[in-house]
Chains A and B, each alone.
Chain A
Amino acid sequence: MLKRPFFWVIVSITLAFAILPLATGDANLRESLIIVAVAIALASNVNLMIGYTGYVNFGNVIFYGLGGYIGLYLTTVRGWPLIAAAIVAGVVVSVFTLVFGMSILRLRGAYFGLATIGVLEAMRTFVSNFNPWGRASGMYVPMDAYQSLGGPMRAVWISYLLIVAVMGSSLLLSLFIKNSKFGLGLFAIREDEDAAGVLGVNATFYKAVVYSVSAFLPAVAGAIIFFKNGMIDPGGAFDLTLSIEAIVMMLLGGRGTVTGAAIGAALYEQLRGYLLTSESLSNFHLVIAGGLLLIIILFAPEGLVGGFYRLLPRARRVFE
């Protein structure tokens, strides 16, 4: 792992994310970078399912939203410290996903994709009617919940650094899986699940494990982000749009590669930021995202990084 050049690329990028806003104290920079960091984390983890294993998960935002709810519940109602709450949220969501994956992953191809949309809608409806989590109006973080982190201002900075850590972990996880036996098994499933089985890959088990693994870090990120934002509601937590945006980012950069998910997420957020703030194009970003998705799938299914590999085959060894 340590010998791989890309390991050090990831470490450097993560450190740059952490240090730049801290050194300048620039709150605007911090706020733009936190959006990018969350996007990279979500896109990287959805890449484990789609890019590595070939299973399109439209419900990936469930992990993020459910993590947010569990995290907020533990920090505000139970009074837990943020880090413990975030990790427990991640573990709970992962275990839930593992059990759930055993059944839903019997479906293949488009049927799995459709089922994940159904699950997402079911989850949103359930939470909208779940009393302990505030039903449709959601939950709020009272101001004094931030005191344990040294006040709201410091809490925001701590949340930022935690999110950067989640981003770095997501990238390292992708890199680690890509170069492991586990990853090779996933690639085999992606290419031909039946052939993989005949070669000895226990596809049922592998799929359930990667589904569960891909849930952990997004859930942790959700717990931190919704705590930082101070509120959560079913519409914002289980938003199909965000799921699809994560998929667009990953496809834009290049599926199945670590670099692709990161670059796609960064670029997409730049574009979205520009569209959202420009007067004439405000709220137009979903139209652009849809168009982009169409263009990528039709003309560049391997994404930006895939095209880059084709121009420069050696890049494959460095930018994994």
Chain B
Amino acid sequence: MNDVADALLRVRSVSKTFGGLLAVDDVSFEIREGEILGLIGPNGAGKTTLFNLIDGVFKPDRGSIIFSGQDITGWSPDKVARRGLARTHQIVKPLNELTVLDNVVVGACFGSEHLPLKAAREVALKVLDEVGLANRKDALARELTIAGKKRLEVARSLAAHPKLILLDEVLAGLNPTEVAHMIGIIRAIRERGISVFIIEHLMQAIMNLSDRIVVLNFGEKIAEGTAAQIGCDPQVLEAYLGDPNIAEKLMENG
């Protein structure tokens, strides 16, 4: 039971269907304080949907989500954000016509600390420095490169001073130098005591970063464990590479 008490986020038997499609099917897991939990799975496995269920963009059909000791199932995204849960978007959503600085100030102002403008600006400047966007602070958000926009997403959520941050493919579309930089940022987030839940397709990166990994396939959790455990799980290999014994099975049946 000790385990349960330590959990920052507990997802219990959560399901979501869109029309006839079961996008997330009875998924349960938890994230401990200070942990980096990875989430992997083939395209369309329901990873982003799971994020949307956790932060309130969608309401689950069944199941519950407990964050920091409180049942947040069905809360609106803004309420969840003020409770200390921040996220980035796979398809970046910069506030285009606002400056980079103002984008981050929004995060600081409306996040878990409800900072007034002036204090929020100081926090934002510090965060921009950490993610390496300080020299672009007066540019409009739409002028940033894709790598810049990804960093902006991370900066905005960091400025909110969250307990848990959901990172949705922040490495996708970056070149190797930018990837290395972003991995440094993610490690630094954890060192500040913030838990991280991260979706990533870049296997090497996520295997290195994560303390544990959850694997989804067709909306179902098919495995959970350390990188080493996941790496030799037959179900995971099958989901990614196909069934290694498929040829034999076909021959037998034929």
Which residues of A pack against B, CB within 8 Å? 180-181, 184-185, 187-188, 190-192, 194-204, 256
Given contacts A180-B117, A181-B117, A195-B93, contact A201 B98 (CB under 8 A): no
A interface secondary structure, majority: helix
Partner of A197, one of B76, B94, B109: B76
Q: Which chain A residues border B77 with CB–CB below 8 Å? A: 194, 197-198
Q: Which chain B residues border A187 with CB–CB below 8 Å? A: 95, 97-98, 102
Q: Which chain A residues border B79 with CB–CB below 8 Å? A: 202
Q: Is B160 an interface residue (CB 8 A)?
A: yes
- Nearest Cβ distance between residue A255 and chain B, in whole angstroms? 10
Q: Give chain B's interface residue range (CB within 8 Å of chain A).
A: 20 to 34
- Nearest Cβ distance between residue B162 and chain A, in whole angstroms? 10
- Is B156 within 8 A of A199, CB to CB? yes
- Is B78 within 8 A of A203, CB to CB? yes
Complex: A263 Cα to B176 Cα, angstroms: 50
Q: Which residue of A lies closest to B82 (CB)?
A: A200
Which residues of B, 201-239, contact A by the 8 Å Cβ criterion? none
- Is A192 within 8 A of B95, CB to CB? yes
- Is B117 within 8 A of A198, CB to CB? no
Q: Is B96 an interface residue (CB 8 A)?
A: yes
Specify which of A185, A199, A256 lies most central, judged by the most chain B CB atoms within 10 Å of its CB: A199
Partner of A184, one of B76, B89, B117, B157: B117
Specify which of B77, B81, B93 lies most central, judged by the most chain A CB atoms within 10 Å of its CB: B77
Q: Which chain B residues border A195 with CB–CB below 8 Å? A: 89, 93-95
Q: Which chain A residues border B60 with CB–CB below 8 Å? A: none
- Is B55 within 8 A of A198, CB to CB? yes
Q: Which chain B residues border A194 with CB–CB below 8 Å? A: 57, 77, 93
- Is B106 within 8 A of A198, CB to CB? no
Q: Is B111 an interface residue (CB 8 A)?
A: yes
- Is B105 within 8 A of A184, CB to CB? yes
- Is B78 within 8 A of A197, CB to CB? yes
